[in-house]
């Protein structure tokens, strides 16, 4: 009961916080994250009052099925942006931009952190620097999607942004798998070709295949129902099924078989939106009921943030380098990619800023690294520090970039006048 009470209070508090954040022009995502921090173990949770806040990280982890489910729906929604008719026009452009910004970000962070290693060899190893460079490639699709939804952003930047963010996951996973394999080889003194080259490729290919097959099955079963209500229930069931199946892990000889939840659910969305004639209408309806799920996702993400990382000056120093130069890499990579592919001036100028947020995928990578002894623990804390900063300020930067690019339209005077008249009639 206490766990459900804490989740209910957190959700209500998060919604109320959006009213406060809105007065300062902050997006809802930032409000949810701040709420999560406040109801987490470092603030209200420390009071030890059952249900008032999350007393420990372990208590937050008991609601882990909520973030997993939310990430599945986020990836499914982003996958629906890959419409074949549009990809024929922009597919090559998206591929070039996604690969360039992801790889260049890793290279920039690698160079900076390897330089830091030379001057501070006792703080961060070369293997650790390479690993963090790989994690830098990942972007947070959830925060980006929430900002786009909240402000109903549409335009040239959004058209490129959503597919690039989706592709970012595949690029980030590939770069991380190869780089982390190299880093472990440097640390252990042995090169494992399978973990460096085979495992990441198998994960990406099998994830896309699984998602594609489930997407085709969903499309065929959807034809058995006539009401939108039943179709929506079927979609929910399939996303939950996809999330569950993507957690499978096993070995075949020396090859480790695993799946990426984001890639599998994204592939599910790609196939469904291209094969089902009612996909667009169903996706619009799903936005209404997934909103509280996404809100809880960000609140729990805020509650999970490890604020104790601020106790270490080394973590803060390396974390600042990571944060600053990851942003530099994202912006440069996006600018070069959009320039090479002939994108419009507003896309070249503002796309890179919208790629700053980082959370779920990076945290997943940091969990993988955390089993790597003291080095892994240091990297995880640095990534947690980076995620805290990115998730609090990244959505604000995304909103700013989309507003300046013209993709977020200001409210018309008629809408503002109607709202003013309504508030006046209520005496507010």
Collapsed DSSP state (helix, strand, coil) of residue 251:
strand
How many helices (DSSP H) and strands (DSSP E) are in the chain? Answer: 18, 2
pTM above 0.75, yes or no: no
Q: At what angle do helices 65-79 and 156-188 cross, to 10 degrees?
A: 130
d(CA 184, CA 369) in angstroms, rounded, equals 10
Residue 157 has phi, psi (to 5 degrees) of -70, -45
What pLDDT sits at residue 250? 87
What pLDDT sits at residue 215? 93
What pLDDT sits at residue 69? 86
Scanning 62-155, the segments in alpha helix (DSSP H) are: 65-79, 84-119, 126-135, 141-150
Q: Are 96 and 340 in contact (CB under 8 A)?
A: yes
Burial (0-12, 13-18, 19+ Cβ within 10 Å), 291: middle
Q: Are 129 and 114 in contact (CB under 8 A)?
A: yes
What pLDDT sits at residue 313? 80
What pLDDT sits at residue 143? 77
Q: How far apart are the two ends of the chain, measured CA to CA in Å?
A: 37
CA 180 to chain centre: 20
Collapsed DSSP state (helix, strand, coil) of residue 250:
strand
CA distances, 330 to each of 45, 153, 247, 270, 277 (Å): 36, 21, 30, 25, 36
CA distances, 163 to each of 98, 141, 168, 275, 355 (Å): 9, 10, 8, 18, 12
Give me the average pLDDT of each 10-residue run along the chain (428 residues): 86 92 79 88 85 83 84 80 71 87 92 88 83 86 81 89 80 76 67 68 86 94 86 90 91 83 85 86 75 84 76 81 93 94 92 85 71 74 80 85 89 58 56
d(CA 214, CA 220) in angstroms, rounded, equals 10
Give me the residues paired with residue 252 across strands.
255
What pLDDT sits at residue 335? 94
The secondary structure of residue 255, as a DSSP letter, is E
């Amino acid at each position: 009961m206490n766990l459900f009470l804490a989740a209910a209070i957190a959700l209500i508090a998060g919604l109320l916080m959006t009213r406060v954040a809105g007065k300062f022009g902050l997006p809802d995502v930032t409000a949810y994250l701040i709420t999560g921090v406040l109801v987490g173990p470092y603030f209200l949770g420390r009071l030890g009052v059952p249900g008032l806040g999350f007393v420990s990280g372990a208590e937050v982890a008991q609601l882990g099925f909520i973030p997993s489910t939310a990430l599945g729906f986020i990836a499914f929604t982003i996958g629906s942006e890959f419409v074949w008719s549009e990809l024929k026009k922009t597919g090559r452009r998206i591929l070039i931009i996604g690969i360039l910004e992801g790889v260049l970000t890793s290279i920039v962070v690698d160079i900076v952190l390897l330089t830091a290693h030379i001057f501070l060899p006792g703080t961060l190893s070369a293997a650790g620097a390479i690993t963090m460079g790989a994690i830098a490639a990942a972007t947070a699709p959830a925060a980006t999607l929430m900002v786009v939804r909240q402000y109903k952003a549409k335009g040239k930047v959004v058209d490129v942004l959503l597919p690039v963010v989706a592709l970012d996951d595949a690029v980030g996973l590939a770069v991380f798998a190869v780089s982390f394999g190299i880093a472990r080889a440097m640390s252990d003194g042995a090169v494992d070709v399978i973990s460096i080259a085979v495992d990441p490729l198998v994960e990406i290919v099998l994830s896309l295949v699984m998602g594609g097959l489930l997407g085709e099955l969903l499309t065929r079963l959807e034809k058995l129902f006539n009401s939108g209500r039943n179709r929506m229930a079927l979609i929910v069931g399939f996303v939950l099924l996809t999330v569950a199946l993507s957690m499978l892990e096993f070995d075949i000889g020396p090859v480790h078989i695993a799946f990426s939840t984001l890639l599998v659910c994204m592939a599910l969305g790609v196939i469904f939106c291209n094969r089902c004639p009612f996909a667009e209408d169903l996706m619009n309806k799903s936005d209404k009921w997934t909103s509280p799920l996404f809100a809880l996702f960000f609140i729990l993400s805020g509650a999970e943030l490890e604020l104790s990382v601020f106790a270490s000056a080394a973590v803060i120093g390396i974390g600042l380098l990571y944060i600053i130069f990851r942003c530099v890499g994202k912006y440069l990579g996006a600018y070069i990619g959009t320039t090479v592919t002939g994108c419009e001036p507003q896309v070249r100028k503002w796309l890179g800023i919208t790629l700053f947020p980082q959370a779920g995928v990076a945290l997943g990578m940091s969990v993988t690294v955390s089993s790597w002894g003291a080095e892994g623990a240091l990297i995880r804390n640095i990534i947690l520090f980076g995620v805290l900063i990115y998730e609090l300020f990244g959505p604000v930067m995304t909103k700013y970039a989309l507003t300046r690019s013209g993709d977020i339209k200001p409210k018309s005077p008629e809408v503002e006048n109607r709202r003013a008249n309504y508030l006046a009639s209520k005496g507010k």
